[in-house]
Every structure is written in C-alpha cells, then in structure tokens.
Structure 1
C-alpha cells in the first residue's frame, strides 16, 4: 500500500515520513520530488514551468515508479509529497488504483499562524520564500477539495511523534508494529 502524506511545504511531511517509516515494518520512503528533479535535468530542458508537477509526464512517472518499487520490494511506500491541484491528485490516485495499489491519503494540516512560525523558525532550512509561497495555495485547496480527499491530521499542537502515531493508528490492521 501507499501512505501519501500531503500538505503544504513546511507542515512536517518529511519528518513525519521518517517517523512513520520506523513504525511500519518493511516500509520505505519514496520521495516523488526526485522524479521531478530527473525531469528538470533533461537537456535541452522541457517546456518552461514554475512547478514540475505541471509537466504531464511527471504524474504517470510517479505512478509507474511507485508501482515498480512495490513490485520489486513489496511492503508499504510512504510518499511525502505536496499535491495541491485536484486534477493532478485524481490522476495519481486513479493511476495507482488502476494497478490495484491501495492509497491512504493523509493531509497534514497546521493553522496558518503556526505554519508560518514553523517555516520562519526552521533551523535546517531557515526562512523560505518558496515555502511561504505555498501557504495560500494550500489554504485554497484545503477549502475547496483537499480536506475532503483524505484524512486530515491537524498537526498544529501535536509533536512529530504524535502525528506519526496518529497516521499509523489510522492504517489497516497489520500494517504497523
């Protein structure tokens, strides 16, 4: 199965993915952003865009890579990846379903004031213009479709371990230790 951790940049997807992976035997983290990085390295470059997710090839490559990984190593894939365009999420979700791969879509949420504070106080990356740029698009997606497309975990007042525990408890029996 796939545990897809969605939410805006800076909400804690990467941290949560590491903690969830430790709690699920045989699981692996698949960073779908790396697929976008491969596409960004194509020379000469692909058509200009401000986000590799807009390239129509990215979404089926993510599906195919996830399918192949599960076929090769089995177990659970944990995918920490922001997807804020509904059509893109539906394409990925239906592509995985077409291969019989169940997806648990978990949206990590934090109240905007706390999220901005986390972004500004990130000791590893420092304040990030990139992360700030996605606060409002995330809020718009949350209001219109995203929070209805999966399980929302409000991380606002939870520790990273509490978030990971919540995600793992919501998985089908037998997926976690």
Structure 2
C-alpha cells in the first residue's frame, strides 16, 4: 500500500512522512520529488514550466517507481509529495490503481496565515518565494477537489509528530480491520 502525504510546500510533508514511516512497521519512505530531480538532471534542455510535474514523463515515472519499489521492498510506501493539479492526481492514482496498489491519501492542511508564517520563518530552508507562490494554489485546489479526495489532517495547531500519530493510527487501524 501507499500512504500519500499531500499538501502545499512548507506544510511539513517531508518531516511528517519520516515520522509516519517510523510508526508503520515494514514501511519505507519514497519521495516522488526525486523522480522530478532525475528528470531535471537528465533533461536540462526541456522547456521549464516552473514545475517538473508539468513534464509528461513525471507522472508515469512516479507510478512505475512506486510499483517497482513496492515489488522490491514490500511493505508500505510513505510518499510525501505535493500534487495540486487534479488531472495529475487522477493520472497517478489511476496508474497505481491499475496495478492494484491501494493508496491512502492524506492532506496536511494549515490555514494560509500559518503557512506563510512557517515558510517565512523556516529555520532549515529559510524564506522561499517558490513555496509562497503555492499557498494560494493550494487553497484553490483544497476548495475545488483536494480536500474531497483525501483525509485532511489540520496541522494549523499541531506539529509533525502529532500529525504523524494521527496518520499512522488511521493506517494501522485500517490494517487491523482487514
């Protein structure tokens, strides 16, 4: 199975996903951003759109990479990755479904003011204009489709550890119910 941790840039997906992985026995972390970074390294001459997700190979490569890693490693994959474009999510989730891979889709949410504050005061990466550009895009996706497609974990007033506890509890309860 895949536990997909979605949400906008700067909301805490990577940190939370590492903690989720620690709480799920037999799980592995797979950051789909690495697929995009590989495309950026291989294809520096591709027209830059501002986001590697816009390149057609990225989405099927994410599906294939996840499938192959699951076949190789087994267990559960925890995948932190922002996907705010509905057709992109449909392509990825549909591709995984075609392989019979179940996906638990979570969205880490924080209100726009909290997001902006976190981005501007990030002690590791520092302020990021790239991340700030996605605050409004995330809000639009959340209203239009994203929150209806996922289990929302509101992180406005909680930290990554509590968010990870909530996600892991849902996944573990689901597994024990089977």
Q: TM-score, normalised to structure 2's length? A: 0.95
Q: What residue in structure 2 maps to residue 173 of structure 1?
A: 175
Given that residues 32 and 81 in structure 1 are in contact (C-alpha distance below 8 angstroms), is that contact kept between their aligned partners in structure 2? yes
CA distance, structure 1, for counterparts of residue 43 and residue 143 of structure 2: 38
Secondary structure at 1:137 match in 2: helix
Query: Gaps (5+ residues) in structure 1?
Result: none
| Contact 1:20–1:165 under 8 Å retained in 2 | yes
Q: Secondary structure at the match of 1:78?
A: strand
Residues 1-80 of structure 1: pairs in structure 2 closer than 5 A: 1-43=1-43, 45-80=45-80
Tell me whether 1:90 sits opposite 2:96 in the alignment: no
Calculate the aligned-residue CA RMSD, in Å: 1.2
| Alpha-carbon displacement from aligned partner over 1:27-82 (angstroms, at most 9, x marks no partner) | 11101111111111125622332111011110000000000000001001011000
Gaps spanning 5+ residues in structure 2: where?
A: none
The alignment's TM-score, normalised by the length of structure 1, stands at: 0.95
| Structure 2 Cα separation of the partners of residues 165 and 40 of structure 1 | 34
